[in-house]
Amino acid sequence: MDAFLRPNRKILSRKELAQHRRILREGGGSLVLTNGCFDLLHVGHVRSLTDARRLGSALAVGLNSDSSVRRIKGEGRPVTHQEERAEILAALEAVDYVTIFDEDTASQLVAELRPDIYVKGGDYSADPGSPTFPIEGRVVLSYGGRVEVIRYEAGRSTTALLARLGG
């Protein structure tokens, strides 16, 4: 990634983020991790990220790569390229770190980082027995981490925004 896109050093490789995680843990801090496509940033994203940040010492956001978003959301997505999405997320006060991942789920990222708290939006369930329990949650529970589900902003989604724009 070009250096000009990383002036504040919030956008990190997975290896760099793992180093920050180690330092945070050694200092007694806790890492919160959430993930998503964040294709067109909207108020639902901002509110969710702000809520997630309140749960720990630092918030890391795993950002789906462009190819991952295409596999999940279909052709024509993402609307905004991964470098720009990462830069926008990094500009938010609530976000401490951003890393891009290419897998379709964040399970491998979760296994590598071992966040203290893994956060998903209210369209998921925190109940491991629920069909809407996040797939990454199983990894979190395997090492004793916590899964949190935060409020969901009904009608506040990139898909709904694109539909309103006729896209």
Q: How confident is the model at residue 165 (pLDDT cuts 50, 70, 90)?
A: low
pLDDT for the residue numbered 136: 97
Classified by CATH at the fold level, domain 3-165 comes out as: Rossmann fold (3.40.50)
User: Would the pLDDT of 144 be above 60?
Assistant: yes
User: Would the pLDDT of 156 be above 60?
Assistant: no
Residue pair 119/52 in contact (Cβ under 8 Å)? The answer is yes
Domain boundaries, the chain: 3-165
pLDDT for the residue numbered 2: 45
pLDDT in tens, 32-49: 999 999 988 889 899 999
The beta-strand segments (E) located in 6-157 are 31-36, 58-64, 97-101, 117-121, 146-150
Average pLDDT in the chain: 90
